[in-house]
A and B are shown apart, each in its own frame.
Chain A
Amino acid sequence: MRFIARYAKETLLGFEIITVYEDEIEKESISFKQPIIKTLAKKYPTAIWFERKMHDDFGIIIEDAFDKRPLVHQERFPKDIHPLRKNFNQDKLAYSDYLAYKYEEISGDGVFQVAVGPIHAGIIEPGHFQFSQAGEEILHLEVRHFYKNRGIEKMLEGKTLLEAKPIIERISGNESIAYQICWRDIVLQATKQELPLAIKKRHALLLELERTIHHLTDLGFIPNDGGFGAALAIGSKLAEDARRKMREFTGHRFGFGAIDFKNKFIDRVIFEKWLDELKNSIDFFEDWIMDIPSLWDRFDTTGVLSLRKALKYSTVGIVARASGVTQDRRNNKFYLDHGFIMASEVSGDVSARFKIRLQELKNSLVMMHNFLQEDKSLLELSNINDGEYQSFSESSIGELLMAIDIKDGVIERFYIRDPSFVNWQAVHLMMYHDIIADFPLINKSCDLSYAGNDL
Chain B
Amino acid sequence: MIKFWYKRVRLGVLTENPELDKELAQIKKEIKEKVKKKFSGSLAIRMVDSGSCNACEAECNALANPYYDLERLGIYFVASPRHADVMLLSGVMTFNMTPHAKEAYAQIPEPKWVITLGDCPVMQAPFEKNYAIKAPAEEHLPITHHISGCPPSPLEIIQGLLEFLRKI
Q: How large is the interface on A (under 10, 10 to 19, 20 to 34, 35 or more residues)?
A: 35 or more
Q: Does A298 contact B (CB under 8 A)?
A: no
Across-interface contacts of B42 in A (CB, < 8 A): none
Across-interface contacts of B77 in A (CB, < 8 A): 122-123
Interface string of A188-217 (1 = CB under 8 A from B): 000000000000000000000000000001
Interface string of A42-60 (1 = CB under 8 A from B): 0000000000000000000
Across-interface contacts of A233 in B (CB, < 8 A): 65-66
How long is the Cα–Cα vector from A449 to B91 in the complex, in angstroms? 15
Q: Does A3 contact B (CB under 8 A)?
A: no
Q: Say what secondary structure dominates the interface of chain B.
A: loop
How long is the Cα–Cα vector from A125 to B54 in the complex, in angstroms? 7
How long is the Cα–Cα vector from A88 to B130 in the complex, in angstroms? 11
- Do residues A121 and B79 form an inter-chain contact, with CB atoms below 8 A? yes
Interface string of B91-118 (1 = CB under 8 A from A): 1101111011000100000000000000
Q: Does B121 contact A (CB under 8 A)?
A: no
Q: Looking at the complex, which one of A88, A148, A166 makes contact with B91 (CB distance below 8 Å)?
A: A148
How long is the Cα–Cα vector from A76 to B79 in the complex, in angstroms? 27
With A119-B48, A119-B104, A122-B79 in contact, is A240–B67 under 8 Å at CB? yes
Across-interface contacts of A151 in B (CB, < 8 A): 130-133
Q: Does A118 contact B (CB under 8 A)?
A: yes
- Do residues B95 and A77 form an inter-chain contact, with CB atoms below 8 A? yes
Q: How many residues of B contact A (CB 8 A)?
A: 50
How long is the Cα–Cα vector from A126 to B103 in the complex, in angstroms? 14
- Do residues A254 and B126 form an inter-chain contact, with CB atoms below 8 A? no
Across-interface contacts of B100 in A (CB, < 8 A): 118-119, 126, 147
Closest A residue to B99 by CB, please name it: A76
- Do residues B80 and A170 form an inter-chain contact, with CB atoms below 8 A? no
Closest A residue to B103 by CB, please name it: A119
- Do residues A450 and B54 form an inter-chain contact, with CB atoms below 8 A? yes
Most buried by A among B47, B62, B92, B97: B97
- Do residues B79 and A170 form an inter-chain contact, with CB atoms below 8 A? no
Stretch of A284-292, A334-342, A382-390, A401-409 that contacts chain B = A284-292
With A77-B95, A243-B62, A292-B1 in contact, is A173–B127 under 8 Å at CB? no
A372 to chain B, nearest CB (A): 26
How long is the Cα–Cα vector from A74 to B96 in the complex, in angstroms? 7
Across-interface contacts of B133 in A (CB, < 8 A): 150-151
8 cross-chain pairs, A with B, having the tightest CB-CB distances, nearest first? A173-B55, A151-B132, A236-B65, A121-B79, A166-B126, A173-B53, A173-B54, A148-B51
Interface residues of B (CB under 8 A from A): 1, 3-4, 7, 14, 47-62, 64-67, 77, 79-81, 91-92, 94-97, 99-100, 104, 125-133, 150-151, 153
